[in-house]
Chains A and B, each alone.
Chain A
Amino acid sequence: MLITRKVEFSAAHVCRNPQLDDEQNRALYGPASNPHGHGHNYVVEVTLRGDPDPVTGMVLDLKDLKAILNREIVEPYDHRFLNYEAPPFDRIPPTTENIAREIWRRIEPQLRMPRSRLDSVRVYETHDLYVDYFGEDGPK
């Protein structure tokens, strides 16, 4: 069984690889490389796979999941400029793919529950563009 919890955060970012110069970044990312940054209302869907506990009927307590997502996603990212305030995005570009992987890295160890584990992280940058990440060992 899959269960999904959604959280949202609003943040600024600039798509910029610090290993490239200004001109290379402009060529690669276009308007998204504007050094002053721009922003999105990100929507994150965290999906767990597991079986309901026969006594409680729950895969896990959603209050616990909500607390983890607030601590690991909303608090560090909401109303922040990701490149300046949320490592590792000072070193790697905060593309939707890299944000999905970083969220996975932050929450996955805390979601190894007796009856469930993290299945995927979906990050919407806009309503018409999103990325699903399945972990390093996810289905090829």
Chain B
Amino acid sequence: MIGSAALAAGAAVTAPFLLPKYHSDQRPKRSRVAILDAQQYSQQLDQILAAGLRLFPLDVRGKRVLLKPNLVDYIPGNTINTHPLLVLAAAESFRRLGAESVLVAEGPGHQRDTHLVLSQSGYDRCLRDERIQFVDLNRDQLIRTALRASYTGMKDLWLPRTVLEADFLVSMPKIKTHHWSGVTLSMKNMFGLVPGARYGWPKNILHWKGIQESILDLCATVPIHFVIADGIVAMEGNGPLNGSARPLGKIVLADDSVAADATCARLMGFEPERIGHIHEGSRFLGNASPALIEQVGETANAPATPFQVVPEFRRLRAL
């Protein structure tokens, strides 16, 4: 079913691209990534994150900041979603940095009842207590948006107004393996922008058009300004829903989503250039090469045991 297109997509992306399929080269000359040590979800995340953000010359004063966590579904005991305490810490930090507004927005890709996911995953209470607005991107007002890359062959997508009107988009993925795309990190997290009300649950059209290709088209069209990746407890194996918890004890911050995802992949014990959307994204979206990434905080050491993956993605693991 949805797997077929994904596997075909993987093959397509690893084939040579004869002509550029992107409109513009958006790569910065150099990118900065910070790996922060955080062993557990606690109120101290606030301080850890605030200290980490000071490592970047961020100016969000007067900007509308949109935090985009990975909120897919809730299964008791499974570490599926970006932890709400990390999202709260991010909201608080950006407020302190002078943002005009901070909101959280997501369009869950598996569960149609967004309210239920928010409630079961603990977001509902956290957001209400801190008076943070949540926007259900599956049902937001839509605007037809021309794609700024043509990997899928689609010319446009209907995208939520809230996303298009944000000044500063922060992708906040959960670091996980993914049975169709290998990994799901800050770039794959952008699938949550695609409205289920228009494209269905799961967002099946993106699978048929190619998961890797869809990630590239989306990231080319809606720029990610910053990444805060939740790797405190990550997921390995049959992700994104049914994998096993993998304590990693890290938060990854970056001003470049390709650099963030390449670094996360290394922390998982994977070769980033073997992941289609990271490899291709490094041609025009951001930097994957360590030579172009200024690493601050902890070092990006590969784990002694790489993350478990489904058999089709064993090739991602570093030798």
B partners with A: no
Identify the A interface with B (CB < 8 A).
Answer: none
